[in-house]
Amino acid sequence: MPRHSKLQRLVLTLYRQFLRAGQNKPGFIPRIRDEFRANARIKKTDVMHIEYLYRRGQRQLEQLKDVNTKQLGSFSKPRDQG
Amino acid sequence: MSSIWIENSEMEDKRKNVAIKLQTIHSRLVCVCVCVCVCVCVCVCVCVCVCLKKGNVVLQNTRSHSSSDVGAVDAGIVGSGGQRNSKMSVLGVSSLSRCGLLALRSPAGVAVRYAQTAAAPVAQPRIKKFQVYRWDPDTPGDKPRMQTYEIDLNSCGPMVLDALIKIKNEMDPTLTFRRSCREGICGSCAMNINGGNTLACVLKIDTDISKPSKIYPLPHMYVVKDLVPDMSNFYAQYKSIEPYLKKKDESKEGKEQYLQSMEDRDKLDGLYECILCACCSTSCPSYWCIADKYLGPAVLMQAYRWMIDSRDDFTEDRLSKLQDPFSVYRCHTIMNCTSSCPKGLNPGKAIAEIKKMMATYKEKKAAAV
């Protein structure tokens, strides 16, 4: 069974940290899941993009871990351009 | 200088008076001369200059006479001088038949004179090429690349930031860069231009059109987009040195100013002006190698600024915090920092002073133990 690469393991630990940070705060988990699922489509070889998103994720994790952050909400663009 | 200006305006008033007089007296002559005017307009310009010089000479003579009068009011001198001047000029003008036309055309003559001084020829467009680093991580599969833009320097401000804003406004609105004050005080627009780290709003565009200008983001920094570097590590390091006043006795806080002698205040000159643009830190090869452990010249200069502030009581604590092989001692006096600082400060010297203070502090500690 092919093992995860180092980068994949880093991404998985980041995901775990995000989920732990969002346990007691409403609205975090669905948003985190959507973001990670959408970016899972990136090819394994596009290392630059993955690292960029990983750094961005770390910065966002710092914000979420902050005690003062209570809730998370998001806007989504409707599929049909109205 | 001002007196000559006054004389010129008097000349114009006098010319208008002369014109009115001549129109009433020489009306027929005028009608004939209008037709002749068209053919000889070039010579008329020459005559304008000639008449001006003549008139000036006449004016100076009359003024020297009038100034000798004792107790004469300025207005009176001007009035009498003007009258005398007008008579003299009428003589001068009527002596030349064409100058009658001149007096008639004095408004036109004045206009010609203004046209000669004011008109500037339309300049050739000076096209300068700018090669700018571009990368958009939001576009899937995008790779960093250089994009070339052409700017006419005649329709652009003198600084590189003016060129970037012009590109963003007119050519490519997706070009992303930080900017705020446009005067070299905020430190937002720090980038690598033609190999050197400076503020884009302070560096003049090199007017040599044969060479393109190369604009890159700050070297060895993670890029968020196009020319925007990720400064979070830099700011975290700045936070770690505790860049605020710390006193042992906090009881008097907020009541009145903490006093400081002038000599102590002079020690801070050249240190407090740092705008934290990160030009120096990102030009240091040691900082390129170990950005996470070595603090970098900008942060170390601010650490030194707080160490030598006489109002701060925690100098030894600040020194002991830097007592590890990486925070300060990765500096090998490469001095790239001092040569790239856009404000002309000297971080290299500040780091040398820190090293000196660290040495004496170690001795004191050893002596105490």
pLDDT tens digit string along B267-323?
999 999 999 999 999 999 999 999 999 999 999 999 999 999 999 999 999 999 999
Give the model's confidence band at B258: pLDDT under 50 very low, under 70 low, under 90 confident, else very high.
very high
Q: Which of A46, A52, A59, A60 to mutate to test the interface with B (most CBs of B within 10 A)?
A: A52
B195: left (phi over 0), alpha (psi -120 to 50) or beta: left
**Mean model confidence pLDDT for chain B:** 79
d(CA B298, CA B350): 10
Instruction: Give me the pLDDT at residue B202, please.
Output: 96
B171-196 pLDDT tens trace: 999 999 999 999 999 999 999 999 99
Cβ-based interface (< 8 Å): residues of A facing B: 42, 46, 48-49, 52-53, 55, 59
Q: Are residues B196 and B151 in the same domain?
A: yes
Given the structure tokens 């001006």, which residue do they identify? B52
d(CA B143, CA A49): 9
* Domain count within chain B: 2
Q: Which domain holds residue B188?
A: 127-229
d(CA A52, CA B94): 87
Q: Are residues B240 and B283 in the same domain?
A: yes
Give the model's confidence band at B3: pLDDT under 50 very low, under 70 low, under 90 confident, else very high.
very low
Q: Does the global pTM surpass 0.90? A: no
SS3 content of chain A, % helix, strand, coil (to 5): 55, 0, 45
Q: Are residues B162 and B278 in the same domain?
A: no
Instruction: Tell whether B236 lies on the interface with A, counting CB pairs under 8 A.
Output: no
Residue B278 lies in a domain: yes
B276: left (phi over 0), alpha (psi -120 to 50) or beta: left
Last residue of a domain, one of B204, B229, B254: B229
CB B355 within 8 A of CB B328: yes
Q: Are residues B268 and B352 in the same domain?
A: yes
Is a pLDDT exceeding 80 seen at residue B326? yes
Give the model's confidence band at B248: pLDDT under 50 very low, under 70 low, under 90 confident, else very high.
very high
Give the model's confidence band at B24: pLDDT under 50 very low, under 70 low, under 90 confident, else very high.
low
Is a pLDDT exceeding 60 seen at residue B9? no
3-state secondary structure of B155: helix
Instruction: Give me the pLDDT at residue B66, please.
Output: 40
Please indicate whether, in this complex, the C-beta atoms of A46 and B141 are within 8 angstroms of each other.
yes
Give the model's confidence band at B87: pLDDT under 50 very low, under 70 low, under 90 confident, else very high.
very low
In whole angstroms, how large is the CA radius of gyration of chain A?
14
Please indicate whether, in this complex, the C-beta atoms of A49 and B140 are within 8 angstroms of each other.
yes
Return the domain boundaries, chain A.
6-65
Q: Are residues B236 and B212 in the same domain?
A: no
Pair of tokens at residue B3: 């007196």
Residue B115 lies in a domain: no
Higher pLDDT, B144 or B58: B144
Q: How many CB atoms lie within 10 A of CB B156?
A: 17
First to last CA, chain A: 47
- Which residue of B lies nearest to A39 if distances are taken between CA atoms? B140
